[in-house]
Structure 1
């Protein structure tokens, strides 16, 4: 159920960014801000900045940014409401639910909460069965002990045992007040076909692996049979429910997320026991795909914590080839991929038990290979003396390279592929271009947008002609719009005169401008709407909005990596001009720069219109567009003169 706005507002007003972040990393003051090594990526020099004055954080290494709420959501991997509840508990704030919700929303919320509760009940029962019953200890616990699982690791993963009974869980859940309806929806019991009155436990006589969500809540189970009954599957899993979508979940992600961040790498394995065994070996940054083929959402989940994945394969060449699709999906998802192969007949679980923790870790370190070298080696033996198979190996490798979305990374891998395949680079590049062209045609490919605006500082030398800059006019305009938004949000509430605020002056001058960037147009519209409501927005106003895009962009606009030391003036008497020393002049200049960029775009469009009119042979249209062009260039010259710009185009 949604939280009341009063609760959300109380939490937002009470939280302190320094206090919240200090729970996770050690902050050190440097100047006005606090600094630490980023908890979201692996780094040696601190680039993670916390601003107590602005109540924001920004990592200048990986780009992570946000406020206190966003930090808790990202570091814990939880949603907005869960972050509010967690911070409310930290600060002793009473949580109130929103009463203005529909009956359907209430029903959906209650069902989800009931599913969480009943799954937690089942987890506790399975754990209790394992520890406190003769059957659980003699069968389930013995199995885990044989695999080397100690009590600490059993507790860490909530491993359990389902009694070999048709209705043990069903009866226990009913006694605890859980209805058959919620037990059926949670996939914990089944009902007999043709006789709905007969219900029985889904999991019976099996060891149980609890599947947790990112916040650590039990949401589903995987269960393994220990007998040789060939009529039953070795593993059975919970069905899809309102709280469990197997394509969105990775087994072990809750236990692994911090280690994945700190190690900046995620080991990807196949089974539950592989994950647990690797934790026993001291390797915690490991997950499994929960008994399903790897999915796009699972890849996105990994990418939230790292860009690097190492896939661990059993020593079976045929099985590896059958699962290579997973590597291509990881590459397509923008991840850097390596692979490790274990000796024939071994998987991570069996190999770690065979050689011990130290040798196992050493094997991972020594045998991690880039996906290209891995693929080349995989096909090398069978294609050594067969030209046709060798050509197929080249295609297999290049098809994987084609999945990489970043052009620069692709070009590096083209060179490496050519070296390993002992072929001319041009041949590999030609094959790559064929694959890319075919993919573009099949997907009705469209040219990408110009991309993000150029970095800050673009306008330091206004004399640089646009055609000499290696960026488009649209990008230049968007960059100037960004600068205008930065000025408006950072200083809009300041005054340029006794009666006029920066924002009023700025809005009067650019009220007829339509921003090229939809995001900056939204920010500008939000600013004007706030003024109409009698609010003079400051950065905090935007940071507290529920619009995550606006919030993120505003934080990027106001975050500064470097602050000038106060000692320059206090101790050394060195004075420098800053943009806020004369906001009237600063604002005037930025307004002129924005208008100039708009005019430049209009000039470019007019030139294009003239060319098209000439191709059509329409002299009247050519004349009209030429008149427009003369007027635009005249306005452009006036603005350039005021800015002291020699040439703008």
Structure 2
């Protein structure tokens, strides 16, 4: 089904860019606009701009830009139709649909099909938990034993999968879902020897006999499942499937990449943004128990190693993160070595330790919500101090191991991008270790130079670093020795907006762009009654065509429409069907730096805006364009003169050159740019 044009237009008119982007990124007011660190590339200094008056966003680093629909498409990796449906759901807009042709149905985005079947599975598992006899006896009893209320089960959309081979598959096939899409969504495991399309032998349910924890994307869509088995191996010893893993997760799919996802981020993002803090735990039940205790700014790594992508996901909403560890010291030591990259991403990291044998879930149920919150405040330590204490206690009085601890801690400190924070931690660490602060700084400088040298080598050998190796492992909360050796994947001195440089552009190219920008942004504005900017500037450049294909195309559009007494408005280009024109328009409309109100309010200096001096801007624009156009002709004349066959031909060419030069000088004089 296709969403009809009227509904699409209503969605566009209703969706607010600040609200839509704010669901995924923590925005800060900056003049008339909003700014943030870009969610589409890694950066430490905000270059992402949201313009509420134009309803557009633009990143000055990676170049991403568009409207609310484009943002949802890019942030979520979904198609146009699914983005519209997401926004319609957000703003409670009823969708009116039209029938698709057979060909359009075939071309329908497979990712959208995955979201649909995953949502169907979520609803099926929830229904089995609440309504089936087995679900109530097994699944519901388990959740109630853990103290999960009806409200919290609904909030996290918990469910249950019956302990049968194919109860879900049979239901899905009856509803018309194909075995192929069930397998691609990670819900079906193929039975050996089965044939696709054979409903009797297709395969079996992946999550049978388990309670279900849906995993949500930050936008709220279900993208995968975690499932916990409830029957013990002893009770299940004589049955097929004995010795199954306690927890089972969905496999990687087109919509689920576990290194990019944090469990509970959808339910927690608003609280994280409001409180400017995030708690990071290990498991599903840790998250749910803390939510029930009133601590909603909490997410989980779902028992996997923490990755750079997950850290950056937290960083969209807050720079402050506290990691909650259980009392397993061996597991903590294994995780410490990888968590340096959390510092390297610019986050402020604290650590809270629980008594041995307790995790956040068991501890909050043991002591209650208020005592738990008190413990969080009392036990919280910054990551550097925590790491120093753990490693020093392990080293004891052995001077060689103590020396190794100094090197290890300094290596963590130099990962911090902020120089002031580094200085503070060098001072604090020198007091804790009872060593000279300057010695620590000197050692830190050595390590910084090593990082810079390595960085230079990596850049000279791109072929050696370009092969994908999957997400970098930052250490887990388990005692898995294989996760101890995390590699440094980001430079200590990151180059903001480090993108390939565009080839140099000519002066004429810049003037063509300035001229077309004037038309696109201000073409409908009036310089005088009945005289628009478009009418004035087009009348001054007869005989001039542009070289750049996009600028030439835009100029032609203005000329053709003005010939029909119609001036194209800015919104026409913002919603143009050609992405290059849309992107270029967004770039022209987005101002990176805004003038401070202090100029006028405090210093009483009135700085005119571009729109206030359109007459002067238009006049100067025309002169600069003509000057650049004439200078290109002068270059051609000089080239022709060099290759002239006769003196007479050369003299004729130079006469033409001097004519152009006199025009150029006159324009320069008018512009006040004559250089003696």
Under a length normalisation based on structure 1, what TM-score does the superposition of the two structures give? 0.68
Give the drift of 1:255.
Answer: 1.5
Give the drift of 1:191.
Answer: 3.5
Tell me, yes or no, if structure 1 residue 432 matches structure 2 residue 434: no
Aligned-partner Cα distance in 2 for 1:389–1:539: 67
Tell me, yes or no, if structure 1 residue 214 matches structure 2 residue 218: yes
Give the drift of 1:347.
Answer: 1.7
- Identify which range, 297-306 or 205-214, moves more after superposition: 297-306
Aligned-partner Cα distance in 1 for 2:256–2:269: 19
- Partner secondary structure for residue 107 of structure 2: helix
Q: How many residues align?
A: 557
Task: Give the one of 396, 400, 410 matched to 1:388.
Answer: 400
- Identify which range, 322-331 or 250-259, moves more after superposition: 322-331
- Partner secondary structure for residue 339 of structure 2: helix
Aligned-partner Cα distance in 1 for 2:537–2:102: 40
**Aligned Cα root-mean-square deviation (Å):** 5.4
Give the drift of 1:159.
Answer: 1.3
Matches within 5 A, 1:476-495: 489-494=520-525
Matches within 5 A, 1:20-169: 54-55=54-55, 67-69=67-69, 80-86=80-86, 94-96=96-98, 105-106=107-108, 109=109, 111-169=110-168
Aligned-partner Cα distance in 2 for 1:513–1:385: 77
Aligned-partner Cα distance in 1 for 2:622–2:390: 61
Aligned-partner Cα distance in 2 for 1:306–1:595: 50
Does the 8 A contact of 2:524 with 2:534 survive in 1?
Answer: yes
Cα gap change, 1:270 to 1:528, in 2 (>3 Å): farther
Give the drift of 1:293.
Answer: 2.4
Give the drift of 1:78.
Answer: 7.5
Aligned-partner Cα distance in 2 for 1:499–1:372: 66
Tell me, yes or no, if structure 1 residue 340 matches structure 2 residue 367: no
Matches within 5 A, 1:519-598: 527-528=554-555, 530-531=557-558, 534=561, 536=567, 538-545=569-576, 546=579, 549-550=583-584, 552-557=586-591, 579-588=610-619
Tell me, yes or no, if structure 1 residue 275 matches structure 2 residue 287: yes
Does the 8 A contact of 2:156 with 2:214 survive in 1?
Answer: yes
Residue in 1 that maps onto 2:388: 376
Does the 8 A contact of 2:15 with 2:87 survive in 1?
Answer: no
Give the drift of 1:350.
Answer: 1.5
Give the drift of 1:233.
Answer: 0.9
Cα gap change, 1:561 to 1:366, in 2 (>3 Å): farther
- Identify which range, 575-584 or 536-545, moves more after superposition: 575-584
Does the 8 A contact of 2:2 with 2:100 survive in 1?
Answer: yes
- Partner secondary structure for residue 233 of structure 1: coil
Give the drift of 1:224.
Answer: 1.0
Structure 1: 5+ residue stretches without partners: 25-32, 42-47, 453-472, 515-520, 568-573, 598-633
- Identify which range, 525-534 or 180-189, moves more after superposition: 525-534
Give the drift of 1:291.
Answer: 4.0
Give the drift of 1:223.
Answer: 1.2
Does the 8 A contact of 1:115 with 1:186 survive in 2?
Answer: yes
Give the drift of 1:141.
Answer: 1.9
Cα gap change, 1:116 to 1:12, in 2 (>3 Å): closer
Matches within 5 A, 1:279-358: 279-324=291-336, 326-358=338-370
Give the drift of 1:636.
Answer: 12
Matches within 5 A, 1:449-528: 489-494=520-525, 501=533, 505=537, 527-528=554-555
Aligned-partner Cα distance in 1 for 2:152–2:22: 25
Cα gap change, 1:308 to 1:105, in 2 (>3 Å): farther
Aligned-partner Cα distance in 1 for 2:216–2:98: 26
Aligned-partner Cα distance in 1 for 2:664–2:411: 50
- Identify which range, 150-159 or 164-173, moves more after superposition: 164-173
- Partner secondary structure for residue 166 of structure 1: coil
Task: Give the one of 393, 411, 414 matched to 2:419.
Answer: 411
What do residues 529-577 of structure 1 show as CA deviations (whole Å, max 9, x unaligned)? 643664855443443354675465344239967789xx9xxxxxx9996
Structure 2: 5+ residue stretches without partners: 24-30, 40-48, 196-200, 234-241, 431-436, 463-492, 499-503, 629-661
What do residues 410-434 of structure 1 show as CA deviations (whole Å, max 9, x unaligned)? 4224313321331312332222222
Does the 8 A contact of 2:66 with 2:586 survive in 1?
Answer: yes
Give the drift of 1:635.
Answer: 13
Aligned-partner Cα distance in 2 for 1:324–1:551: 47
What do residues 176-201 of structure 1 show as CA deviations (whole Å, max 9, x unaligned)? 44444443333333333356637332
Cα gap change, 1:558 to 1:295, in 2 (>3 Å): closer
Does the 8 A contact of 1:11 with 1:87 survive in 2?
Answer: no
Give the drift of 1:79.
Answer: 6.4
Give the drift of 1:273.
Answer: 0.8
Give the drift of 1:266.
Answer: 2.9
Aligned-partner Cα distance in 1 for 2:202–2:74: 45
Does the 8 A contact of 2:8 with 2:84 survive in 1?
Answer: no
Give the drift of 1:320.
Answer: 1.8
- Identify which range, 443-452 or 576-585, moves more after superposition: 443-452
Query: Structure with the greater relative contact order (CA < 8 A, sep ≥ 6): 1 or 2?
Result: 2
Give the drift of 1:227.
Answer: 3.2
Cα gap change, 1:99 to 1:396, in 2 (>3 Å): farther
Does the 8 A contact of 2:213 with 2:227 survive in 1?
Answer: yes
Aligned-partner Cα distance in 2 for 1:245–1:10: 33
Aligned-partner Cα distance in 2 for 1:66–1:561: 24
What do residues 571-597 of structure 1 show as CA deviations (whole Å, max 9, x unaligned)? xxx999664454332345578899999
